[in-house]
Amino acid sequence: MTGQAVELAKTVSSEFAQDTNNDGLLGLAFSSINTVTPNAQTTWFDTGSAEGLFKQNLFTADLKHNAPGTYDFGFIDSSKHTGSITYTDVDDSQGFWEFTGTGYGIQGQSFNSQDIDAIADTGTTLLLMDDSVVDDYYSNIDGAENDSSQGGYTFPCSSTIPSFVLGIGSGKATIPASLMNLGPVESGSSTCFGGLQSNSGIGMSIYGDVFLKAVFAVFDADNTQFGWAPKTAL
């Protein structure tokens, strides 16, 4: 690849600097929202696509729970998923991998069919949705409360929590209960923080890593679509 711009940061937050697992950011949204100044640039993926670097102009994410995940660029590794890939059209007008979800479900209950404006975002840890959805989910967990001091819903770590379902395209993706619990709010605490939280003030739902760790995800720029399939292994 030639001619790829790299923006150097003049200042970084203390949280970013203290995270030894990070060494910069590689944005995977569309180039229309790239913020490099003074002259706008294309992202690494779009630059590579324009230069014919990839056999297919797509990338996949196979994120893992408590383990390193992988990204593949230009091809789909069929060994990383089972069954067929379910696709849904993407609206890239706002620069995101944005699509309309078909609803949600909670383990043991009927599926709630509704249009959900959502983006798939590898750069967001949580699953962020409307308050009505969030409240509905945590009403099924003993001791759950919306704790402002923790910035969202928490619950006793000993509580049994349900799995969660998201409708995308013609299918329904299940997020197991193990991924809906981010773990103790602090070391040694008996209170755990939930992986589903409010999207208040954002204007859309964000299907972040809590969702992406549950599926094999395909970001297809050739056909402007997002796809998912069950993972070979979580």
In order along its 234 residues, the chain shows pLDDT tens digits of: 887 888 888 888 888 888 887 777 888 999 999 888 888 899 999 999 999 999 999 999 999 998 999 999 999 999 999 999 999 999 999 999 999 999 999 999 999 999 999 999 999 999 999 999 999 999 999 999 999 999 999 999 999 999 999 999 999 999 999 999 999 999 999 999 999 999 999 999 999 999 999 999 999 999 999 999 999 988
At residue 149, the pLDDT reads 94
At residue 69, the pLDDT reads 94
At residue 178, the pLDDT reads 96
Superfamily covering domain 54-230: Acid Proteases (2.40.70.10)
Q: Are strands 112-120 and 205-207 parallel, antiparallel or unpaired?
A: parallel
At residue 1, the pLDDT reads 80
Which residue type does 62 have? D
At residue 160, the pLDDT reads 97
CA distance 172 to 128: 18
Whether residue 229 contacts residue 168, with contact meaning beta carbons closer than 8 Å, is answered with: no
Residue listed under structure tokens 């299918």? 171
The burial class, CB within 10 Å (0-12 / 13-18 / 19+), for 9 is exposed
